[in-house]
Structure 1
Amino acid sequence: MPEKLALSADQFGGSGSTCIEPIAETIEYDILAQNNEASALTLQADETHAHLISRAASEPTPARKVRGPQDLANSVFCVAKFVHGDKTLLAVRKTDGSWSTRKTSGFIRMIFTDEELDLDEEPVFTIRPDFDFFVLDDRVFVRSKPRFESVLSYKAGHEVAFATLKEEPDFFRIFSDLGPLDEYVGTNKIHLRRAVAIQQKGHYKNADFMRRLLAEHASMNLAITFDAQGRIIPTVESGRDIFQALLNHRLDSRLTLEMFDVPSTERVG
């Protein structure tokens, strides 16, 4: 988590209702779920570190007061606070490069006044008039999943979860060697999300699922090799197919008689 709250204001870029107006529907947050321009992912605030942001915004103290540019420089995110009656909406956005002293130190800022260019020696902090996620009561509404996960250190959580998964007996015993799979995942945030989803689904714990995978992998065009004990022999190259299989994301269409890889699954019956 960032060490300080970069900005807290009662008014920011219009009303809070204007900020959330584009959200026409909500989708329950899932490790692989994606929203579009008219929707937001939503989850319980207590599943995140959002309470730390809420606490800092609700308890302004002199020690947190911004007294100069140095207090804003290198901030990771900024927060706008909207209050209406007894309701408080916190709108959070990850800051851009203008807040980073490292990224701005190599530039000379200029302003155009009186028909000529002049040096602008005052620091500049740019804020876009939209937000990455909102905190309202006990819910978080996510508009930008990558920036939300970056601000709340979700990737770090995914790395811990993957490390835990690799130590799980039900998981490591289905492989002859975890080294190549570990290399395939690395620090790639998409692969880490999928590893967490594999842990949540838990298909690898189901002996019948694994027997069917052994029997059907060739007909499903899954480039997976098994050893004499029925364990998966992973390679970096086969990592994608292994993950698709363990996620149960390679499916048949009865209508077109074609096979598809899908981004997520939802039971319909």
Structure 2
Amino acid sequence: MPALQDLKALDLANAQVTLWSVKGPSGPAAAAPGYSGRWVDTTDGVDAALKETFAGELAKIEEVIEYGLLAQNNEASALQIPADETHANLLIDEVAAEIPVKKASQVNHLFNAKFYVAKFVVGDQIVFAVKKTESGWKTKKAASVRNLYFADQQLAIDDRPHFELSKTFDFFIFDDNVLVRNKGAFESVLRYKSTQREDFVELQAEAEFLAAFVDVAPLVAYVGDNKIQLRRACAIRQKGHYRDVDFMGRLRADQAEYGFTIEFDGDGKIVATPETCAQIMKALLDHRLKSGFSRLVYDVQDTTPVAL
């Protein structure tokens, strides 16, 4: 876990902190995302709060898991993916320099930001900590409530614009890696889902995949634009079990033992139906397994081969 170890070893107390509010991703869903950022002057108190959140988030991470389409982290882990496999470079380019023209000089520069980036600079090391914004950053929210504060045993109105600073970060970009704490936020901010859409389109055009089916249309309709099903479809392509003649032969011969009722035609091709699409996905992911100890059959969310 070198990236995590290096992050935890940073001299955070002496880090220079800059906060950027960012609008985007923008542009067509299938294209590389666009970002529009503004950096903000912050008080020492805000900088200290950002450092505290940074340190607190890192302290929770005890394990790093390789990012996968179906991999999930928990409260004590983070997913890791190389930055060059994402659009992180586009975001980094947008918040690279605190030039005057990009400084937030009016409140509208901050309202409706989709996320903010806390940039921590320690010598020649830079960490970008990213967090999707809460509702308080939206103009609609600001216009629909009145902020109050309590002092001297009474409530008073505070008409100044308010923004919410979270006590967590969604992901970190550091040293050519991305450490992900919130997978959904990461995929939304860096538009990772659009890559999955493109991958699924390519899968539908792959001759070996088409050859495994009588008609893939029911499966395509089942996946649709659902982010979970897109991940699964892309994982099916990565694993490539449909290209393995032996795997497909065993699927046809042994599926009933695992509770599947997938139909096959006379040539051994899968007959996809709305009723069996979920089973087909599980089968091609190899996500229905039998315990060698209890002999029970289980559905699993992800698989990691064990070297014996």
* TM-score normalised by the chain length of structure 2: 0.81
Residue of structure 1 equivalent to 2:36: 4
Aligned residue number for residue 132 of structure 2 = 94
* 1:152 equivalent in structure 2: 190
Aligned residue among 80, 100, 107 for 2:144: 107
Cα offset for 1:34?
A: 0.9
1:241 aligned residue: 279
Q: How does 1:91-240 map to 2 (within 5 A)?
A: 91-102=129-140, 104=141, 107-112=144-149, 115-118=154-157, 120-240=158-278
Matches within 5 A, 1:55-94: 55-94=93-132
Look up the match of 2:290: 252
Check the 8 A contact 1:180/1:236 in 2, yes or no.
yes
CA RMSD of aligned residues (A): 2.0
- CA 1:27–1:9 in structure 2 vs 1: closer, same or farther (change >3 Å)? farther
Worse overlay, 244-253 or 176-185: 176-185
Q: What is the CA–CA distance in structure 2 between the aligned matches of 1:26 and 1:58, rounded to whole Å? A: 27
| Deviation of 1:215 (Å) | 1.2
Identity level (%): 42
* Cα gap change, 1:38 to 1:48, in 2 (>3 Å): same
Do 1:7 and 1:78's aligned partners in 2 also have CA atoms closer than 8 Å?
A: no
Q: Is the 8 A contact 1:8 1:80 kept in 2?
A: no
Matches of 1:253 and 1:9, distance apart in 2:
58
CA-CA distance at 1:14 after TM superposition: 4.4
Q: What is the aligned counterpart of 2:49 among 13, 32, 35?
A: 13
Q: Which residue is equivalent to 2:9?
A: none
CA distance in 2, matches of 1:9, 1:260: 54
Equivalents in 1 of 2:39, 2:226: separation in Å? 31
Q: Which amino acid aligns with 2:49?
A: G
Unaligned stretches of 5+ in structure 2? Answer: 1-24, 26-33
Q: Is the 8 A contact 2:180 2:186 kept in 1?
A: yes
- Residue type at the aligned position of 1:110: N
* 2:87 corresponds to which of 49, 67, 86: 49
Cα distance in 2 between the residues matched to 1:7 and 1:236: 50
Q: Distance in 2 between matches of 1:106 and 1:235?
A: 49
The amino acid across from 2:82 in the alignment is Q
Q: Residue 144 of structure 2 aligns to which amino acid in structure 1?
A: F
In structure 1, runs of 5+ residues without a counterpart are none
Give a deviation string over 1:24-60, Cα, whole Å, max 9, x none. Answer: 1211111111111111111111111111222223222
Q: TM-score, normalised by structure 1?
A: 0.92
Counterpart of 2:28 in structure 1 is none
